A and B are shown apart, each in its own frame.
Chain A
Amino acid sequence: MKSVVEFTLNGEGRAVLCEPRQTLLEILREEIRLTGTKEGCSNGNCGACNVLLDGVLVNSCLILAVEVQGRSIVTVEGLARPDGTLHPLQQAFLDHAALQCGVCTPGFLLSAKALLDEKPNPTETEVRYWLAGNLCRCTGYDKIVRAVLDVARSSAPSTPTR
């Protein structure tokens, strides 16, 4: 039986008709057609589907869409400013060549954002711990970790973008 689920997506209100068995990932991709959130494993082991739920990093493949009634979701499409200016992490990933195929990149960006929102000055060990739920098969993580550390080091709290 379908029901209407209302939530905020990247700052805008949404109402979507959902079956209980539909995951948040499925609704984002197939109903709302924001396909930046990727499906890599469907059981919470790769992080490609990461989104922020009320600011908390989660796997959208393991959340039923009906669970997000009244909540707020941020996807990769919501990272840049409304005028299109990239988030510092997005820019750093480009500058550091921290992506090859790019399919894991949205998930990494959201994990990195969640990390820096909580710990603005993480150590390399902390960065790796926070990114451990995101699998990348192309890069060996080196340039990704460097990109995140670079944003942390160059972003004083008063200057959100560079």
Chain B
Amino acid sequence: MQAFDYLPAVSVDEAVAALAAGGAGARALGGGTDLIAQIKEGRRSVARIVDLKRIPALAEIKFPPEGGAWIGAAVTCRTLNQHVEFKRRFPGMHDSTHLIGGVQIQGRATIGGNLCNASPAADGIPNLIAHRVRVHVAGPAGARVVPVEAFCVGPGRTVLATGELVVAFEFPASPVRFGAAYLRFTPRNEMDIAVAGAAAAVELDDAGQNFKSVRLALGAVGPTPLLVESAGPRLAGQPVNDASLELAGSLARAVAKPITDMRGTIEQRQHLAGVLTVRALRLALDRARGTRTVDALGRPL
């Protein structure tokens, strides 16, 4: 492994200064489960590592009285998996945090790292998009807020400028009759990278029969995780039935622009984008209604 400096920052300002001074060779370290593997394999060159894990602000978990949640960027998947209140408020996020790696990866991997690694196949990002999460960024030029769907700009690339880092995620309050879910497809059942992934968040009307709002996002079918922008306007107000679910699937397939690589083919990914979208919607609908009509993979019981 190449040599580098290691700076454990204890405040956001210190981290920003260290990253800014390090320039393009500086890299923020969260859990390291992507970054250290990439450095070892020679896939990423770094001269300086700024460890964010000792910054109190990045470890915060807060629940504003008006609802929603504020999650520090260095909070681990394991912490979220164990957090009763977070799971109660955002049960759909658990679909991602318990899928990322194995238990030993979840013990280190952070949500911030999952986002900043900017893998098209990241299991966390489509789910954050479906949840309308806003990303709070700190940097030399001050703080700014980025909608998560605009955060990744290409494989491994984000909107972060030199010296910038993600501080926290702002989860908006969930409306009533809200449900969300994330499903991915992998050849193995664990320890695998998504061949395709789909997240769905739905809000139902008072009768629970019609979509009030729908938000769909896809993973591993484009250079970045994708928001299915057409799904919101096309599905809002529609009745929940096989036809509207199939419409959602076809909207997802239309947005998916996958490639063929060693993990999957264009044909397979295009197809899976539709399948997983429908299944994630079914799971999200169960959660919105408090029913149980599908299994953990979104397949009708």
Which residues on A are within 8 Å of B, measured CB to CB? 1, 19-21, 23, 42-45, 47, 50, 53, 56-59, 62-64, 66-67, 69, 111, 114-115, 129-130, 132-134
Q: B108 to A62, Cβ gap below 8 A?
A: yes
Bound CA–CA A53/B31 (angstroms): 13
**Would you mind naming 6 contact pairs between A and B with Cβ atoms under 8 Å apart?**
A21-B4, A43-B37, A62-B32, A64-B32, A129-B103, A133-B104
Query: Which of B36, B104, B190 interacts with A57 by CB under 8 Å?
Result: B104
Q: A66 to B6, Cβ gap below 8 A?
A: yes
Q: Looking at A45, A129, A132, which has the most chain B CB atoms within 10 Å of its CB?
A: A132
Distance in angstroms from A146 CB to nearest chain B CB is 19
**How many pairs of residues, A versus B, come closer than 8 Å at their CB atoms?**
83
Given A66-B8, A67-B53, A133-B101: 18 more A-B contacts, CB < 8 Å = A20-B5, A21-B1, A21-B4, A43-B40, A44-B33, A44-B105, A45-B191, A50-B104, A59-B105, A62-B32, A62-B108, A67-B32, A69-B8, A129-B103, A132-B191, A133-B105, A133-B190, A133-B191
Residue in chain A with minimal CB distance to B78: A56
Q: Looking at A50, A59, A111, A114, which has the most chain B CB atoms within 10 Å of its CB?
A: A59
Q: A19 to B190, Cβ gap below 8 A?
A: no
Known contacts A43-B37, A43-B41, A47-B102; is A56 also within 8 Å of B107 by CB?
Answer: yes
The answer to whether B189 has its CB under 8 Å from any CB of chain A is: yes
Bound CA–CA A89/B159 (angstroms): 48
Bound CA–CA A23/B32 (angstroms): 11
The answer to whether B203 has its CB under 8 Å from any CB of chain A is: no
Q: A132 to B189, Cβ gap below 8 A?
A: yes
Bound CA–CA A114/B2 (angstroms): 32
> In the complex, what residues of A have CB within 8 A of residue B103's CB?
57, 111, 114-115, 129-130, 132-133
Within 8 A of A (CB), among B22-55: 29, 31-33, 36-37, 39-41, 49, 51, 53
Q: B190 to A129, Cβ gap below 8 A?
A: yes
Query: Which of A23, A66, A133 interacts with B102 by CB under 8 Å?
Result: A133
> In the complex, what residues of B have CB within 8 A of residue A23's CB?
1, 36
> In the complex, what residues of A have CB within 8 A of residue B3's CB?
19-21
Bound CA–CA A145/B146 (angstroms): 45
